[in-house]
Amino acid sequence: MTKERIFLGRDALMKKAKVKVIEVDLGEAGFTYVKELTAQEKNDYEASLLDKTKTPKGDTKYEGSLKNVQAKLAVYVLCDEKGKLLFKKEEAASLSQNMLASIMDVIAKAAKELNKLEEEAKDDKVKN
Protein backbone atom coordinates (compact mmCIF):
# COMPACT_ATOMS: atom_id res chain seq x y z
CA MET A 1 0.00 0.00 0.00
CA THR A 2 1.46 3.35 -1.00
CA LYS A 3 1.22 6.40 1.17
CA GLU A 4 -0.98 9.17 -0.22
CA ARG A 5 1.02 12.22 -1.18
CA ILE A 6 -0.04 15.58 0.18
CA PHE A 7 0.40 18.85 -1.67
CA LEU A 8 2.22 21.44 0.45
CA GLY A 9 0.98 24.89 -0.43
CA ARG A 10 2.29 28.27 0.60
CA ASP A 11 0.95 28.18 4.17
CA ALA A 12 2.33 24.69 4.80
CA LEU A 13 5.75 25.60 3.39
CA MET A 14 5.93 28.84 5.38
CA LYS A 15 5.08 27.09 8.65
CA LYS A 16 8.10 26.73 10.93
CA ALA A 17 9.44 23.23 10.44
CA LYS A 18 9.87 20.85 13.35
CA VAL A 19 13.60 20.19 13.51
CA LYS A 20 14.78 16.67 14.31
CA VAL A 21 17.26 16.32 17.18
CA ILE A 22 19.31 13.14 17.59
CA GLU A 23 21.54 11.88 20.36
CA VAL A 24 25.16 11.29 19.36
CA ASP A 25 27.16 8.74 21.34
CA LEU A 26 30.68 9.96 22.05
CA GLY A 27 31.86 6.76 23.73
CA GLU A 28 33.51 7.17 27.10
CA ALA A 29 33.23 10.95 26.82
CA GLY A 30 29.42 10.75 27.04
CA PHE A 31 26.88 12.01 24.52
CA THR A 32 25.58 15.18 22.95
CA TYR A 33 22.77 16.22 20.62
CA VAL A 34 22.88 17.27 16.98
CA LYS A 35 20.01 18.93 15.12
CA GLU A 36 18.80 19.26 11.58
CA LEU A 37 19.68 22.48 9.82
CA THR A 38 17.02 24.85 8.59
CA ALA A 39 17.48 26.11 5.03
CA GLN A 40 18.81 29.44 6.39
CA GLU A 41 21.28 27.71 8.71
CA LYS A 42 22.53 25.55 5.85
CA ASN A 43 23.01 28.64 3.67
CA ASP A 44 24.87 30.41 6.49
CA TYR A 45 27.06 27.36 7.15
CA GLU A 46 27.97 27.04 3.47
CA ALA A 47 28.72 30.78 3.28
CA SER A 48 31.02 30.42 6.30
CA LEU A 49 33.21 28.14 4.18
CA LEU A 50 34.02 30.98 1.79
CA ASP A 51 36.72 33.59 2.34
CA LYS A 52 35.99 37.00 0.83
CA THR A 53 39.03 38.76 -0.61
CA LYS A 54 39.80 41.60 -3.00
CA THR A 55 41.67 41.12 -6.25
CA PRO A 56 44.46 43.56 -7.21
CA LYS A 57 41.86 45.31 -9.40
CA GLY A 58 39.59 45.77 -6.37
CA ASP A 59 37.01 43.16 -7.36
CA THR A 60 35.50 40.92 -4.70
CA LYS A 61 36.56 37.29 -4.91
CA TYR A 62 35.27 34.29 -2.95
CA GLU A 63 37.39 31.21 -2.36
CA GLY A 64 36.55 28.02 -0.52
CA SER A 65 38.28 27.51 2.81
CA LEU A 66 38.52 24.30 4.82
CA LYS A 67 39.81 26.12 7.90
CA ASN A 68 37.83 24.84 10.92
CA VAL A 69 35.34 23.20 8.55
CA GLN A 70 34.14 20.61 11.07
CA ALA A 71 33.93 23.11 13.93
CA LYS A 72 31.96 25.49 11.73
CA LEU A 73 29.44 22.72 11.13
CA ALA A 74 29.44 21.77 14.82
CA VAL A 75 28.40 25.24 16.00
CA TYR A 76 25.39 25.08 13.67
CA VAL A 77 24.22 21.67 14.92
CA LEU A 78 25.34 21.02 18.51
CA CYS A 79 22.33 21.58 20.72
CA ASP A 80 20.46 20.55 23.83
CA GLU A 81 17.66 17.97 23.78
CA LYS A 82 15.16 20.65 22.69
CA GLY A 83 17.27 21.86 19.74
CA LYS A 84 18.66 25.03 21.37
CA LEU A 85 22.15 25.69 20.02
CA LEU A 86 25.05 25.37 22.48
CA PHE A 87 27.53 27.66 20.71
CA LYS A 88 27.70 30.98 18.94
CA LYS A 89 29.02 30.93 15.37
CA GLU A 90 32.06 32.96 16.48
CA GLU A 91 33.13 30.11 18.77
CA ALA A 92 34.04 27.70 15.95
CA ALA A 93 37.79 28.36 16.09
CA SER A 94 37.87 28.02 19.88
CA LEU A 95 35.84 24.82 19.72
CA SER A 96 38.25 23.44 17.13
CA GLN A 97 41.25 24.24 19.33
CA ASN A 98 39.74 22.64 22.45
CA MET A 99 37.89 19.54 21.22
CA LEU A 100 39.62 16.26 20.44
CA ALA A 101 39.65 15.44 16.72
CA SER A 102 38.14 12.02 17.39
CA ILE A 103 35.09 13.59 19.05
CA MET A 104 34.77 16.29 16.39
CA ASP A 105 34.85 13.57 13.72
CA VAL A 106 31.93 11.74 15.35
CA ILE A 107 29.89 14.94 15.66
CA ALA A 108 30.62 16.01 12.09
CA LYS A 109 29.76 12.56 10.73
CA ALA A 110 26.41 12.53 12.56
CA ALA A 111 25.61 16.07 11.40
CA LYS A 112 26.47 15.26 7.79
CA GLU A 113 24.34 12.12 7.82
CA LEU A 114 21.35 13.81 9.49
CA ASN A 115 21.48 16.78 7.11
CA LYS A 116 22.41 14.72 4.04
CA LEU A 117 25.48 16.88 3.45
CA GLU A 118 27.64 13.98 2.28
CA GLU A 119 25.06 13.00 -0.35
CA GLU A 120 25.13 16.52 -1.80
CA ALA A 121 28.92 16.48 -2.00
CA LYS A 122 28.81 13.15 -3.85
CA ASP A 123 26.12 14.49 -6.22
CA ASP A 124 28.23 17.58 -6.94
CA LYS A 125 31.27 15.43 -7.77
CA VAL A 126 29.21 13.34 -10.17
CA LYS A 127 27.90 16.50 -11.92
CA ASN A 128 31.39 17.98 -12.32
Tell me the domains of the chain and their CATH numbers. Answer: 19-37+68-121 (3.30.2220.20)
Identify the pLDDT of residue 27: 95
- The answer to whether the CB of 90 falls within 8 A of the CB of 55 is no
Residue 118 one-letter amino acid = E
128 residues of the chain, pLDDT tens digit each? 678 999 999 999 999 989 999 999 999 999 999 999 999 999 999 999 998 888 899 899 889 989 999 999 999 999 999 999 999 999 999 999 999 999 999 999 999 999 999 865 444 444 44
Identify the pLDDT of residue 128: 40
For the whole model, what pTM was predicted? 0.83
What 3-state class would DSSP assign to 51?
strand
